[in-house]
Amino acid sequence: MYKSSVFRTISLTLFLFCAIIGFTLQGCDHPSPCETVGCPPNSECVITASGVASCECKPGYVKEGDTCRYVPCSIYECYNDGICYVDSLDVPHCQCPPEYVGIRCERYNECYGNPCGAHGTCELDSLYNARCNCEPGYIGSDCHPDLCIGVVCQYVNTSCNEGVCKCNTGYEGDTCGILIRNKFLGTYNAIDSCVTPPNFVVTITAADSIDQFYINNFYNKGVNAKVKAKVTPVINPSSTVLTFNVASQAVGNIIVAGLAQGYINTAQTTINLQYQSSISSSIDSCRVVLIKQ
């Protein structure tokens, strides 16, 4: 009994091996069971582990009676609870739930839930990115009211953002109509800690750039002795302090060393400037106060 069981196991193993290689080796002279099985179209014969020949439908086909019917959705996967269906040409497609899009429902629908609000419609581009088409008077990714309607910003290329004018360099104010440099212009009585005598008169005039000005008679060296100063951009529109800086430059035999910094007071009547003067190898820290006449 035992020998018979072992023999059957060995025979089955040899048979399956021969079936895999096609009965081409010596000792594989038994015909394949599939040679006597006629499978219907769109199916193929396979040999089970017990050595029995069986017809199985090819991928995309489902057994229906003695035939294999083409069912594209059996191999066409739809993601995120999408439902597969076929058109009149038996081409499979996915019907997606509202919150998903894509050929296989693989992308989240960015328009789901109406992100554009009550004053806009959402649409998807070819890459499924959302875009809001807002009604007139509404802007942004959520079609909120355009606060810039009625706001007139002055000067070319000045733009409005959320109801506030974004000023070009050198300008300030609600409508960007104020030239910051003009607040420094005028005639001043100077008191300079590095000049003897310390008292003299300077004038401040406009330079070529709209955010720069000249301090004339600097260091009491005459009307042709001038340094160029540059107004610091206004970062905080609510700030009442206007600052400026003076880069290294020569004034006669005096060199304004390093980067000097100053400011004008809120009343725009007094200017303070800290700077370093260099004569030969000597460097002095200086302070000049300008009081408007």
Per-residue pLDDT of the chain (293 residues; tens, 9 = 90+): 433 343 334 444 555 555 555 544 455 556 778 888 889 899 999 988 888 888 999 988 888 888 898 888 988 999 999 999 999 988 999 999 999 999 999 999 999 999 999 999 999 999 999 999 999 999 999 999 999 998 888 876 678 888 889 888 888 888 888 899 999 999 999 999 999 999 999 999 999 999 999 999 999 999 899 999 999 876 665 566 789 999 999 998 889 988 999 999 989 999 999 999 998 778 899 999 999 99
- The model's pTM is 0.53
Residue pair 201/187 in contact (Cβ under 8 Å)? The answer is: yes
Contact of 57 with 68, CB cutoff 8 Å: yes
**What amino acid occupies position 152?**
V
Contact between residue 281 and residue 290 where contact means Cβ atoms under 8 Å apart: no
Residue 10 has a pLDDT of 42
Q: How far is CA 145 from the centre of its chain?
A: 24
Instruction: Report pLDDT for 161.
Output: 87
Q: Which run of H or of E encompasses 11?
A: helix 2-21
CB 90 within 8 A of CB 76: no
**What secondary structure does DSSP assign to 130-166, as a single string?**
EEEEEPTTEETTTTEE-TTTT----STT-EEETTEEE
Q: At residue 6, what are phi and psi to the nearest 5 degrees?
A: -60, -40
Output the pLDDT for position 74.
Answer: 87
